[in-house]
Every structure is written in structure tokens, then in C-alpha cells.
Structure 1
Amino acid sequence: MNDDVSPIPAAASAATIPTAHPAVPPSAWDRYQPWRRTAEILGWVILFGVNAVAGSLTTLMDIRRAGLDIPNWAPPVWEGSSCLVALALVPALVWYTRQVPFHVDTWRRALSLHLLGSVAWSVAHVTGMVAIRKAVYASLGESYDFSPWATEYVYEYLKDVRSYTYMVLWIEAYRLLLRRWQGEASVLTVADDVPEPVVPERPERFLVRKLGKEFLIAAAEVEWLQASSNYVNLHLRGRDYPLRTTMASIETQLDPARFVRVHRSYMVNLDCVGEIEPLESGDARITMSDGTRIPCSRRYRGALRQERRAA
């Protein structure tokens, strides 16, 4: 039989089934997951929609007070184009905040990168909204003037940098709320009067804090781990618990006879591996006992094969 494609033995498979734990009814967090993406998109749409309507109304009021000869359709075009382009840029901003997270020891670097990010975001935002305005004005037989360009870009940036800041804070606050709701893990610390070992002690349990409550999860029950920004998600029984650490750090603490690195972003519990399927590229695809598929890069494939044989 090919060593790379081998389902786990029946005994090992049975050992990985959490029979000691009764079925847990779906929590509010579990029920939210199927609707999460819809809720997030709808939240952004409502936010920018309300902003566009409110901005249009206040601008119309200011125009009437000043007695300016500007048609009523102009303010909705201005506000609508701005909000529409900002909404289209949300996925890029969400991605960027994952790449540049704020952390206590790296906040200065993150702040500098976000300052550069705000400039790029503003340029894209202004360019897009001006293009929409020019197109709408042209369709109505009018001309939209955006000059001098350099001065107008600076003026718009001074407004956009505030919007960028608010959006980043909104995203990070939402992520913090999700982590608190989902449950955030930490390694149990030893007492202050106990000397630290030369070699980091392998944690047998992780402490999880969830909505003001604390409970323990056994390290041996973690099925797989995935790096996510400045967190590592511990996956067990269909749930993820973020642990504030790096994959390189947690790798040195977990039992190497049980946990194996298979990708720069993944580690697996050998007891929970179902089968390994080699790919033509030289990489592999791991199917876990719960059906989850995890990538295995060629760099770690040899070590995984060796550990499987030893097991």
C-alpha cells in the first residue's frame, strides 16, 4: 500500500472520537455562523446607505441655506458615489487589516503601514468616486469639475484618513467581539514561586475565556491548528479557539510525537488524521477525521510520512 495514502487504523480512529463528551447543543455562536457573512455584508451596506442618505440631506440643507444654484440631484450623486466606492473597497481593507494587525510590541510599525494604507485607500476612493460623478454628469448633459487635482486630492485625503481610521476601528472592534464570543484560549501559567524550566513545558491544557466564563480544553484533544494573523486557531469538535501566539512558538511547546507541522500555516494532531493524498505538484492533501481538508506542502511532507510510520 502506498505510504502516502493510508487511512488510520480502526483502533486509532475510535480513539479520536470524543466519546467522553456528550453532544453539545448548538450555541448562539454556532447558530450565527451560517448567517455570519450575510450579516457582515448587510452591516456594511446599511452603514454606508445611512451615511449616504444623511450626507445627501445635510448637504441639500446647507445648499438651500447658502442660496446656491445647485440642482437637487447633485448631492445624492456626490454622497452616493463616495459611499459606493468606499463600500467596494471594504474587502481590500478587511484583507489589509489581517496582514497588518495591531499588537503591543509592533504597534509603531503597524501604525506606519496603516498610514501608507490610508493614502492608497484615499487615492482609490477619490479616483473611483470622481469617475462615477463624471459619468453621471455626462449622462445628464453636465460637466463635473475636479480641479486642481493635487489640491483636491489632499483635501479629500484629510477627510478620508478619518473615515479610514473609523473603518479600521470598526473592523478590529468587531473581531474583538467575535473572539470574546467565540472564546479565546491561553496557555496555563505556572505559579510565580516555581522556577521556569530551561526547556518550555508542554501545556497539557489550555484555558479558554468565553463571555466572562473560563473552562479548560485538553491539548491532546486539539485536532488541528491554523495560523491567523497574530493568532493561532485551536480547532476541536467543530470550534475554533484563537490563541495569541505564533505557529513557530506553539510548535516548540506541543508534543512532537502527536502534533506535526504540515504547512507554514497548519499543524495537525496525528491521532485525528484520516488519510493523506499526494498531489502531482509534490504537495499533499490531508483529510482529517471530521472530513476537513488541510494542505500539506512538500517541505513538510517527508516529516509527516516519517511520523505516521513511527505512529
Structure 2
Amino acid sequence: MNAPTRHPETEADRQADRWALAGFVIFMLASFVIQATSIQLEDRHARLEPWVREGASHLSLLCLVPFFPRILDIAPLSLRRWRWSVPVHLVACLAFTVLHVLGFVLLRKLTYPLVLDHTYTFGLSDPINWIYEGRKDAYGYGITMLTFALARMAMQNRLESRAVDEVASREQRLMLKSGGRTIMLNAGDVIHAKAAGNYVEVSTAGKTHLVRMTLTELERLLEETGGHHVRVHRSHIVNLDHAMVITPTGEGDAMIELDTGETVPGSRRYRDRYAQTA
């Protein structure tokens, strides 16, 4: 019997879910201690009640958190699918509130007589109680769902970065995002790259691509290809195969003339990287 195919994207999501869940557990433990001690400091006669009350609420929440990834699978936080996702999350948020409230009410009714020697009354028929809990749970639902979504996004970006690195080292090609597209460039075709805010202008023969990445990220990617690209300035990378003349300008700086006719500043900070062509 063949084992089911394990897709890298799905595995990345599951790993992200585990990290998000672990972080949420730590957050909930901290929240439980802070909430209980805060109540106890405000009411010195409360004794164990804040711990029992907050413990029931937090335990009820923890039991529901594992369902968040499943909901995210059904309704991703994506603008392209918002007509489907918004109603699903509204229903899920309502269900989350109801289950959380019923969960902590049940736990309190079970533990209060055993630990505190008196019963617990919530008032399930009072709409004010539901509004009070609902507004908190709606906020908690949104924050928790966003945490899982961001964890998945970070893991998918990491997976994509690995794929880009593999293509660069194996095929000496660059996968770059430009204008909503992914373009493929031979590393040797990159003549010059210049930082432009949150973007990088990547120049090839006769064309310049505006790529959304940092110059440091591009430098690392070019190093993976094993080419002759070097950082010559904090804002410039040059393919030394296209460097024709390096002219010192004083105090260790220089101007680098490329075979395209373009002139690029060279900083003394990076002089040892490009001086070999002088």
C-alpha cells in the first residue's frame, strides 16, 4: 500500500500550526497567572476562586484552539476568497464563543463545589452575559486566527526562499518577483543591481527589472550561483565580468565604469571585494 503523498506546502502549514499552538499555550499560561493574581491582589479575600475561575476559562479556550487550523484550511484569510471566508469565520466565531462559555461554565460548576465549597451560577439565559463574553471572545478569535495565519505565511515564505536558493545553486538562475510576476534570470545576465527603497533595480543587457527584495537578499542569492557579483557599495552590486575601469576618487572611494557605459560608485568599505579587477 502506497503512503499518501506529502506536499511540502501542507507540511509547512502543519509545522507552522505546531509553532503557533506552542506559542499560544505559553501565552495562555502567562495570561492565566496574570489574570488570577490581578484579581487576587484586588480582592485579598478571594483566595482560590480567581485561580479556579480563570483556570476554567483558559482551559476551555485551550481545548478549542486546535480547531483553528482546520477552520483556516476551510476559509483562508485571503482577499481573493473573502466572500466565502467572511461568513465562515463569522459562524466559527459564534460557535467559538458558545463553546467557550459552555465549557468554562461546566468546568466551574464541577470544580466550585469541590474546591470552594459553594456552587457557581452564570446565568445562561441572560443576554448581557453573552454580550459581555462575546465581545472578548470575538477579539480573542480574531487574534488567534491571525496568529495561525501569520505563522503559516512565514513558513510558506521560508519554503519559497529555500526553493529559490536551490534553483540559484543548482541552475545558476534567479527567481525574482517583479510586478506581481515571477521572472527567471540567468545569474550571469545580471550586470548591476541598485537599492531603491524596498525594492532593487536589477539591470541586464537592455532591461531593468524592479524587484521586491533587499539588496542583501539579492547578494546572498547571487553568491549561491557562484558568479562574480560583488557588493561595491551599500546600495550597489556589480558583476565584475562587466567592470572595465576603476578610477580612485580619493579617501579610498572609487568610480567603477561598466561595459554598458554606466558608472557605479565604489565604497572604501567594500574596496577589497572589487580591487582585484583594478
| TM-score, normalising length: structure 2 | 0.51
189 and 37 in structure 1: CA distance in 2 versus 1, 3 angstrom threshold = closer
The aligned residue for residue 41 of structure 2 is 61
Answering whether residue 24 of structure 2 is matched by residue 44 of structure 1, we say yes
In the alignment, the residues of structure 1 paired with residue 133 and residue 78 of structure 2 have an alpha-carbon distance, to the nearest angstrom, of: 29
Q: How does 1:261-280 map to 2 (within 5 A)?
A: none
The aligned residue for residue 80 of structure 2 is 105
Answering whether residue 125 of structure 2 is matched by residue 149 of structure 1, we say yes
- Following superposition, the deviation at residue 188 of structure 1 comes to 3.7
The aligned residue for residue 83 of structure 1 is 58
Picking from 117, 134, 143, the partner of 2:109 is 134
178 and 157 in structure 1: CA distance in 2 versus 1, 3 angstrom threshold = same
In the alignment, the residues of structure 2 paired with residue 102 and residue 35 of structure 1 have an alpha-carbon distance, to the nearest angstrom, of: 18
131 and 212 in structure 1: CA distance in 2 versus 1, 3 angstrom threshold = farther
Q: How does 1:11-26 map to 2 (within 5 A)?
A: none
Q: Aligned residues: percent identity?
A: 24
- Aligned residues, how many? 165
Picking from 166, 172, 180, the partner of 2:157 is 180
The aligned residue for residue 143 of structure 2 is 166
Q: How does 1:178-257 map to 2 (within 5 A)?
A: 178-183=155-160, 188=182, 212=217
- Following superposition, the deviation at residue 81 of structure 1 comes to 1.1
Q: Give the secondary structure class of the aligned counterpart of 2:153.
A: helix
Is contact 2:32–2:54 with CA below 8 Å preserved after alignment? yes
34 and 143 in structure 1: CA distance in 2 versus 1, 3 angstrom threshold = closer
Q: How does 1:109-124 map to 2 (within 5 A)?
A: 109-124=84-99
Q: Give the secondary structure class of the aligned counterpart of 1:164.
A: helix
Amino acid paired to 1:94: P
- Following superposition, the deviation at residue 153 of structure 1 comes to 2.1
Amino acid paired to 2:71: Y
Q: RMSD of the alignment, in Å?
A: 3.7
| TM-score, normalising length: structure 1 | 0.46
- Following superposition, the deviation at residue 111 of structure 1 comes to 2.1
* Structure 2 spans left out of the alignment, 5+ residues: 3-11, 164-176, 185-212, 222-278
- Following superposition, the deviation at residue 93 of structure 1 comes to 1.4
Amino acid paired to 2:138: V
128 and 176 in structure 1: CA distance in 2 versus 1, 3 angstrom threshold = same
| 1:262-293 deviation digits (Å, cap 9, x = unpaired) | xxxxxxxxxxxxxxxxxxxxxxxxxxxxxxxx
- Following superposition, the deviation at residue 128 of structure 1 comes to 0.6
In the alignment, the residues of structure 2 paired with residue 161 and residue 37 of structure 1 have an alpha-carbon distance, to the nearest angstrom, of: 20
| 1:105-160 deviation digits (Å, cap 9, x = unpaired) | 22243223211111000111110111111111121321101115332222211110
In the alignment, the residues of structure 2 paired with residue 155 and residue 99 of structure 1 have an alpha-carbon distance, to the nearest angstrom, of: 28
* Structure 1 spans left out of the alignment, 5+ residues: 6-31, 65-69, 191-208, 216-311
In the alignment, the residues of structure 2 paired with residue 166 and residue 126 of structure 1 have an alpha-carbon distance, to the nearest angstrom, of: 18
The structure that is helix-richer by fraction is 2
148 and 104 in structure 1: CA distance in 2 versus 1, 3 angstrom threshold = closer
35 and 161 in structure 1: CA distance in 2 versus 1, 3 angstrom threshold = closer
62 and 137 in structure 1: CA distance in 2 versus 1, 3 angstrom threshold = same
33 and 167 in structure 1: CA distance in 2 versus 1, 3 angstrom threshold = closer
In the alignment, the residues of structure 2 paired with residue 98 and residue 34 of structure 1 have an alpha-carbon distance, to the nearest angstrom, of: 11
- Following superposition, the deviation at residue 76 of structure 1 comes to 1.1
Larger relative CO (CA 8 A, sep 6+): 1 or 2? 1
Larger C-alpha radius of gyration, 1 or 2? Answer: 2
Amino acid paired to 1:63: D
The aligned residue for residue 291 of structure 1 is none
Q: Give the secondary structure class of the aligned counterpart of 1:183.
A: helix
